[in-house]
Amino acid sequence: MKNLLNHTDLALNIGNNNLETSINIYTNKINVFLSSSNNTNELKKLLYSINIFIYTYFCNNPSINLEDLCYQNLKLMDTHHMKDDLISVGEQIIKSYIEILHKDKPISENKIIEHALSYIHSNIEKKITLEKVANHVHISSNYLCYLFKESTGFKFCEYINICRTNAAKDFLDNTSYPLEMISFKSGFNSQSHFCTTFKKYLGVSPNGFRKREH
């Protein structure tokens, strides 16, 4: 259950208006949960954690009031007690946050961020700078910096570090590469920076993560 309570990937995709990917991430979480438990009370706790995590993740945005939505989602969960109903409620929670976070955002701004994120994910192993990405999407660095924070909830450099950490996590899960190679392939400028950043976001060292997972 502990590993299911980190919803950063889900929140990132909600922030980026990626409904399909968000639902897929949620479905995977549910499948992992159901592989070890059919307890509806535990399932409800998982949904509570998703709702609160997403609310907390975005609540610092002064232009959007998420408190009412968070409370409504909690009430919705309390009205259902069957497993399938609760799973559907989880999907509704994700959709509700995406709708309120993106309902007033111009399509053009969404497209700019979409292209910027695509560039970042395609070049995560390379040196990525704000200026380089801004040039790629043909806007100023200052404007991209503003859009990035508005759309993802993260500062540019922080988002890059999270993406690199997720890439490293995949290498640790699926390969036997040494840490030095994983650091290089994930785009970190040194192994020490890799280890420090990884522990900052996941609460465990790369070696500790690999041992725990295997």
Task: Write down which residue in 117, 133, 153 finishes a domain.
Answer: 153
Residues 74 and 120 in one domain: no
Decide if 1 is inside a domain.
Answer: no
Task: At 145, list the tokens.
Answer: 């910096």
Residue 155: DSSP 8-state: -
186: containing domain: 158-211
What is the per-residue pLDDT for 4? Answer: 65
CB 171 within 8 A of CB 159: no
Residues 19 and 47 in one domain: yes
Decide if 203 is inside a domain.
Answer: yes
With a cut of 50, list the residues of the chain below it in pLDDT. 2
Residues 91 and 133 in one domain: no
Decide if 2 is inside a domain.
Answer: no
What is the SS3 assignment for 14-67?
HHCCCHHHHHHHHHHHHHHHHCCCCCHHHHHHHHHHHHHHHHHHHCCCCCCCCH
Q: What is the pLDDT of residues 5-57, one digit of tens each?
A: 788 889 988 988 888 889 999 999 999 999 988 899 999 999 999 999 999 98
